[in-house]
């Protein structure tokens, strides 16, 4: 089975694409608060705004028609419906009830996908952990609650009225009492004061009524509180993703509840820490996220460690199946010619997934371009590549208008993207007449206006430019590299 990465709502993926009783471990780290938006900040192109910002995760929870999902829960789990309906009837915010309803329905289906020996870890903070624990008790059964794990971390900040909050909660459930657990894979060193204690991390032998205990040679099983440092701004793991968790945290979870070859799933995978660690530990994995930006980041993150090893790169690439994006010209046309919303998704797919660019946040009155890339010559100089994506019929006049935009914005390169059957000789001539990008600096001709077809993008072609390493791909870590 290939590792699978899905772009879309995890509820649809759970219902349509995942077999029941096929997963060994599910870890999820969903948004903590229904009113919180998750944004990824991108480098500015220094044209009109000081910063360009792209929303990577919309406020799904408050916009969802939670009453429809509540009605669906009524047909699936009556006690769960009664609990959520009671919350809906009392003085609890509609945002909180919407969030819990949305989560409850998805967790219900996640339980179905777990093997009988499987485990479920839900990462949450104190804002919602008490509600979510009741939801999980109803779905998994109170006897299958295993731990309330407390992830403790250090960090700055101060408060003169409260104790500083420096922990998250991870609720651990099993599907049955026959759950998998591998204690020897997560043992840690004893502290000096703990060597004389009698606990389940010690081993020994009985001599009459006297018990002789010795430290386990591999160390002790960790307690239910884990002190693992959060990522700071200079951490080499950091991807500038706002909810990123350290790999050490996921390594402990995955090692405790799976063995090599088992299946790990994360249905809110964000920047992909769970799937990246699962891949490193030789587990199979399933990742889902509703943000195409997150899916693109995960894809790049998984391939990055092996880019200098062609054989390893081909093996990893060939073992990842991406779902939810066009994979051929026919499905690309289907997305491009759909609704207006579909055409916007088509633009975002081209710019952010296929070209590692940033979409123009303005969908109306966008200034004549749909997105951009940034070229860095050195620490002080960067060049701009504007991108215009056309999903339907176009002509040479449309291309001329885009060339005027490139000149007006003083961009170094303009890239015109359309389907191959829309390209005419007149358009090719117009593009050639626009000249070349800084030919004297590089000694090589790179067209200032480039026509790229969807067919070429699907075959792996990209913008012609002096040095691929100069591109600032989607997230800021690439800039530092």
Q: Please write the tens of the pLDDT for every residue from 276-314.
A: 999 999 999 999 998 877 888 898 899 888 878 888 888
Predicted local distance difference test score (pLDDT) of residue 4? 96
Report the distance separating Cα 404 and Cα 279, nearest Å: 47
- Do 289 and 265 form a contact (C-beta atoms < 8 A)? no
Q: Is 409 exposed, middle or buried (0-12, 13-18, 19+ CB in 10 A)?
A: middle
Predicted local distance difference test score (pLDDT) of residue 356? 79
Higher pLDDT pick, 31 / 403: 403
Question: Which residue from 225, 243, 116, 236 is spatially nearest to 170, judged by alpha carbons?
Answer: 225
Highest mean pLDDT: which range of 158-167, 283-292, 332-341: 283-292
Predicted local distance difference test score (pLDDT) of residue 114? 98
For residue 348, pLDDT beyond 90: no
Predicted local distance difference test score (pLDDT) of residue 38? 41
Predicted local distance difference test score (pLDDT) of residue 473? 44
Higher pLDDT pick, 1 / 478: 1
Task: State the architecture of 3-186+222-323 in CATH terms.
Answer: 3-Layer(aba) Sandwich (3.40)
pLDDT range class, residue 460, cuts 50, 70, 90: confident
Predicted local distance difference test score (pLDDT) of residue 472? 46
CA dihedral 136, 142, 147, 150 (to 10 degrees): 50
Strand boundaries in 87-209, DSSP class E: 114-124, 145-152, 167-174, 202-207
Its pTM surpasses 0.85: no
What is the CATH class of 329-480?
alpha beta
Report the distance separating Cα 209 and Cα 217, nearest Å: 24
Mean pLDDT of the chain: 83
DSSP strand pairing (320-323 vs 358-359): unpaired
DSSP strand pairing (371-376 vs 358-359): antiparallel
Least confident of 100-109, 302-311, 337-346: 337-346
Token pair 């215009």 in the structure block, residue: 388
For residue 371, pLDDT beyond 80: yes
| Helix, strand, coil tally for the chain in percent (to 5) | 40, 25, 40
DSSP strand pairing (371-376 vs 382-389): antiparallel
Q: How many CB atoms lie within 10 A of CB 469?
A: 8
For residue 161, pLDDT beyond 70: yes
Residues 370-385 as b or e (16 or more Cβ within 10 Å = b): bbbbbbbeeeeebbbb
Six-digit token pair at 233? 């701004």
Q: How far, CA to CA in Å, does 157 sit from each of 141, 166, 386? A: 39, 10, 40
Q: Give 188-239 pLDDT, tens digit per residue.
A: 999 765 444 445 555 555 545 566 678 889 999 999 999 999 998 888 898 8
Report the distance separating Cα 264 and Cα 254, nearest Å: 8
Question: Which residue from 458, 453, 432 is spatially nearest to 390, judged by alpha carbons?
Answer: 453
Predicted local distance difference test score (pLDDT) of residue 92? 87
For residue 74, pLDDT beyond 60: yes
Domains of the chain: which residue ranges?
Answer: 3-186+222-323, 194-219, 329-480
């Amino acid at each position: 089975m290939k590792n699978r990465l899905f772009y879309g709502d995890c509820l649809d993926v759970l219902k349509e694409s995942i077999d029941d009783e096929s997963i060994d471990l599910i870890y999820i780290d969903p948004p903590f608060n229904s009113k919180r938006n998750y944004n990824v900040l991108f480098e500015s192109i220094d044209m009109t705004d000081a910063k360009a910002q792209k929303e990577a995760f919309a406020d799904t929870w408050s916009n969802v028609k939670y009453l429809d999902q509540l009605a669906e829960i009524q047909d699936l789990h009556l006690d769960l419906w009664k609990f959520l309906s009671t919350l809906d009837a009392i003085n609890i915010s509609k945002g909180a009830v919407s969030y819990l309803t949305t989560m409850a329905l998805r967790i219900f289906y996640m339980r179905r996908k777990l093997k009988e020996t499987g485990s479920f870890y839900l990462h949450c903070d104190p804002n919602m952990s008490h509600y979510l624990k009741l939801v999980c008790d109803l779905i998994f059964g109170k006897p299958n609650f295993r731990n309330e794990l407390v992830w403790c971390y250090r960090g700055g900040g101060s408060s003169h009225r409260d104790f500083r909050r420096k922990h998250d909660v991870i609720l651990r459930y099993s599907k049955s009492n026959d759950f998998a657990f591998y204690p020897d894979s997560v043992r840690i060193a004893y502290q000096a004061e703990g060597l004389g204690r009698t606990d389940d991390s010690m081993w020994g032998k009985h001599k009459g009524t006297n018990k002789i205990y010795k430290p386990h040679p591999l160390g002790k099983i960790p307690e239910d509180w884990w002190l693992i440092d959060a990522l700071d701004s200079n951490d080499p793991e950091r991807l500038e993703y706002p909810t990123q968790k350290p790999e050490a945290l996921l390594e402990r979870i995955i090692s405790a509840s799976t063995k090599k070859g088992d299946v790990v799933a994360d249905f809110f995978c964000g920047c992909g820490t769970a799937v990246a660690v699962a891949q490193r530990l030789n587990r199979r994995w399933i990742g889902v996220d509703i943000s195409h930006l997150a899916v693109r980041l995960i894809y790049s993150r998984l391939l990055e460690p092996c880019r200098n090893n062609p054989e390893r790169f081909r093996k990893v690439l060939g073992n990842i199946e991406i779902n939810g994006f066009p994979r051929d010209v026919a499905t690309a046309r289907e997305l491009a010619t759909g609704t207006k919303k579909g055409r916007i998704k088509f633009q975002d797919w081209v710019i952010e997934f296929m070209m590692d660019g940033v979409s123009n946040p303005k969908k109306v009155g966008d200034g004549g371009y749909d997105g951009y890339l940034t070229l860095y010559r050195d620490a002080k100089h960067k060049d701009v590549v504007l991108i215009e994506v056309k999903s339907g019929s176009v002509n040479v006049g449309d291309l001329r208008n885009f060339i005027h935009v490139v000149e007006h914005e003083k961009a170094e390169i303009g890239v015109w993207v359309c389907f191959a059957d829309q390209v005419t000789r007149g358009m090719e001539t117009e593009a050639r007449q626009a000249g070349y990008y800084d030919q004297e600096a590089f000694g090589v001709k790179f067209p200032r206006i480039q026509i790229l077809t969807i067919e070429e993008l699907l075959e792996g072609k990209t913008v012609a430019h002096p040095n691929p390493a100069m591109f600032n791909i989607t997230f800021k870590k690439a800039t530092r590299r």
